[in-house]
């Protein structure tokens, strides 16, 4: 009995040690640095191809100096067993012009212990390639005459069972049809897409030269981390290697982001273990000081289907003072700014102008308070959506363009823009005349308008909770919207 207890205790202690080592920020950053060297080798081997991260994890492993300005948004959940999907909320079609122009691309991601390749690379991307290839035949039927137009599903050897592969293949034609019938524009490709895989255990990289002689456009999927037992392996340089260190940085990063890591990489990696938490805390605190700049750090994205009448941006990119215009919009602009920090702490706001209901408005700016996530969903439904859409209606009638900004530029602001597009624009993306009644919204029309947004702003990723509240707001009776 004592012997069994000793084994259990030893196992518990070992697991506790592994967990402690895996969450240690010193171990994580030095492990990322080790993997970055491997990614650099891959980039050198395929220097003619653009290289980009699969966000968010991949951004830790790719130096922004060599990365394409595009980012990819392939989720592992779309490749999980029984949950396979070509998700029209993240179709990644913005990558197709880049692939067509450059002949292919290299995509960087990583995964934690237990796998050699993340599901995003082993299944989601193979699904994506096969669906795109099949949808091309539906949108451009003349491609069916091309003998080399391959629509096969390719998966990494040993990563997907034949049974699972067969189940995925049975869904491909349906997903291709859904894509071809969506509002997305599918640009013509001269060659089909084909995924390839590289990991640190790959002994010989695939030969892809000359690119123009290949019968396919290669999508080189790079899994940056080494696969190690229990996910942690001791190194002689004073740290423990943690597989997939860039994953779930909220659990270990102390507020550090890939952007901050690359901006201060040398300072972070040269810090001794004991000082590193203080160095990180200082960098994070300094990054949270609101910029006192006169220009946008990243301009908001105009929605192309609406001819620039609505744009979406992020609060951290805003200048300290919001002028009633945008450099990339050819008419006066009014702003809806929603933030979890509250109006009084937003750039350009005046604490004395805040009202008791959490709004603050200026002639060309409406500021609303919201904690993004489930906590304030009722507030979002009953206050934020009605207040913002009333304001947007008035400003559109005055001839203004509208820019909606939220903390991330991906969630609440997208929800507000989606509601406004449904209420105040017709099915052709034209603003309704003042006093004109919009057609009754439906789930299909809301879905189409969300696709308009994603086509222009691929990073848009409203949560299920946000979309649920927008649907509830739009599909309820008009009297509810006037409350």
56 preceded by a cis bond (ω within 30 of 0): yes
The Cα-based distances of 405 to 287, 363, 368, 417, 470 in angstroms read 19, 17, 10, 9, 16
Dump pLDDT digits (tens) for 411-429.
999 999 999 999 999 999 9
The Cα-based distances of 182 to 132, 408, 466, 473 in angstroms read 13, 26, 22, 24
Q: State how far the Cα of 156 lies from the Cα of 392, in Å rounded to an integer.
A: 49
Instruction: Check residue 112 and give its pLDDT.
Output: 85
pTM tops 0.85, yes or no: yes
- Contact in structure between 407 and 372 (CB atoms under 8 Å): yes
Structure tokens at 459: 């990073």
Instruction: Check residue 439 and give its pLDDT.
Output: 83
Strand pairing of 310-314 and 301-302?
A: antiparallel
Instruction: Check residue 190 and give its pLDDT.
Output: 93
Q: State how far the Cα of 266 lies from the Cα of 88, in Å rounded to an integer.
A: 40
In sequence order, the β-bridge partners of residue 339 are 369
Q: Three-class SS of residue 457? A: coil
Q: State how far the Cα of 71 lies from the Cα of 165, in Å rounded to an integer.
A: 27
Structure tokens at 4: 């069994």
Closest CA to 361 of 325, 335, 331: 335
- Contact in structure between 334 and 311 (CB atoms under 8 Å): no
Q: State how far the Cα of 163 lies from the Cα of 82, in Å rounded to an integer.
A: 12
Structure tokens at 155: 């998966």
Domain ranges of the chain: 1-229+238-247, 254-290, 301-342+359-480
Q: State how far the Cα of 443 lies from the Cα of 471, in Å rounded to an integer.
A: 7
Instruction: Check residue 346 and give its pLDDT.
Output: 47
Strand pairing of 51-53 and 105-109?
A: parallel
Closest CA to 89 of 473, 466, 476: 466
Residue 47 neighbours by CB distance under 10 Å: 10
- The CA-based angle 427-428-434, given to 5 degrees, is 80
Query: Into which CATH architecture does domain 301-342+359-480 fall?
Result: Alpha-Beta Complex (3.90)
* Residue whose tokens read 């991601």: 109
Closest CA to 107 of 238, 217, 233, 265: 217
CA 71 to chain centre: 8
Residues of the chain with pLDDT under 70: 1-20, 289-294, 342-361, 371-375, 478-483
Residue 200 neighbours by CB distance under 10 Å: 18
Q: State how far the Cα of 248 lies from the Cα of 240, in Å rounded to an integer.
A: 18
In sequence order, the β-bridge partners of residue 336 are 366, 404
In sequence order, the β-bridge partners of residue 313 are 405
Phi, psi of 280 (to 5 degrees): -65, -45
Structure tokens at 16: 């506790």
Residues contacting 475, CB < 8 A, separation 6+: 441, 442, 443
Q: State how far the Cα of 216 lies from the Cα of 110, in Å rounded to an integer.
A: 25
Dump pLDDT digits (tens) for 245-285.
999 898 899 999 999 999 999 999 999 999 999 999 999 98
């Amino acid at each position: 009995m004592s012997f069994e207890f000793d084994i259990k205790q030893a196992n518990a202690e070992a697991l506790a040690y592994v967990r402690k080592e895996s969450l240690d920020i010193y171990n994580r950053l030095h492990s990322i640095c080790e993997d970055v060297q491997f990614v650099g080798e891959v980039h050198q081997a395929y220097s003619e191809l653009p290289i980009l991260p699969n966000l968010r994890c991949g951004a830790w492993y790719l130096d922004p100096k060599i990365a394409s300005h595009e980012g990819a948004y392939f989720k592992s959940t779309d490749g999980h067993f029984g949950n396979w999907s070509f998700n029209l909320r993240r179709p990644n079609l913005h990558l197709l012009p880049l692939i067509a122009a450059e002949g292919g691309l290299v995509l960087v991601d990583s995964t934690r212990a237990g796998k050699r390749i993340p599901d995003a690379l082993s299944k989601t991307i193979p699904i994506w390639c096969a669906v795109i290839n099949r949808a091309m035949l539906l949108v451009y039927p003349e491609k069916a005459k091309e003998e080399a137009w391959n629509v096969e599903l390719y998966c990494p050897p040993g990563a997907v069972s034949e049974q699972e592969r067969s189940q995925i293949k049975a869904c491909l034609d349906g997903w291709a049809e859904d894509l071809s019938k969506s509002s997305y524009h599918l640009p013509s490709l001269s060659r089909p897409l084909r995924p390839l895989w590289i990991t640190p255990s790959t002994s010989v990289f695939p030969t892809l030269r000359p690119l123009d002689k290949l019968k396919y456009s290669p999508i080189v999927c790079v899994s940056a981390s080494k696969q190690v037992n229990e996910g942690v392996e001791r190194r002689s340089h004073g740290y423990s290697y943690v597989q997939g260190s860039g994953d779930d940085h909220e659990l270990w990063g102390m507020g550090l982001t890939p952007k901050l890591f690359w901006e201060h990489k040398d300072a972070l990696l040269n810090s001794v273990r004991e000082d590193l938490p203080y160095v990180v805390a200082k960098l994070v605190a300094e990054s949270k000081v609101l910029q006192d700049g006169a220009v946008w750090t990243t301009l908001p994205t105009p929605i192309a289907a609406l001819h620039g009448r609505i744009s979406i941006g992020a609060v951290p990119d805003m200048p300290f003072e919001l002028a009633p215009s945008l450099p990339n919009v050819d008419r006066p602009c009014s702003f809806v700014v929603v933030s979890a920090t509250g109006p009084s702490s937003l750039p350009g706001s005046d604490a004395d102008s805040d009202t008791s209901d959490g709004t603050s408005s200026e002639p060309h700016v409406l500021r609303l308070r919201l904690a993004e996530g489930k906590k304030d969903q009722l507030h979002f439904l009953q206050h934020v959506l009605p207040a913002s859409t009333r304001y947007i209606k008035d400003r559109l009638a005055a001839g203004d363009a509208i820019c909606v900004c939220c903390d991330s530029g991906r969630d609440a602001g997208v929800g507000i823009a989606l509601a406004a597009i449904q209420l105040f624009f017709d099915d052709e993306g034209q603003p309704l005349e003042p006093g004109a009644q919009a057609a009754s919204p439906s789930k299909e029309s809301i879905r189409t308008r969300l696709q308009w947004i994603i086509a222009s702003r691929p990073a848009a990723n409203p949560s299920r909770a946000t979309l649920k509240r927008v649907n509830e707001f739009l599909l309820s009776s008009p009297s509810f919207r006037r409350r």
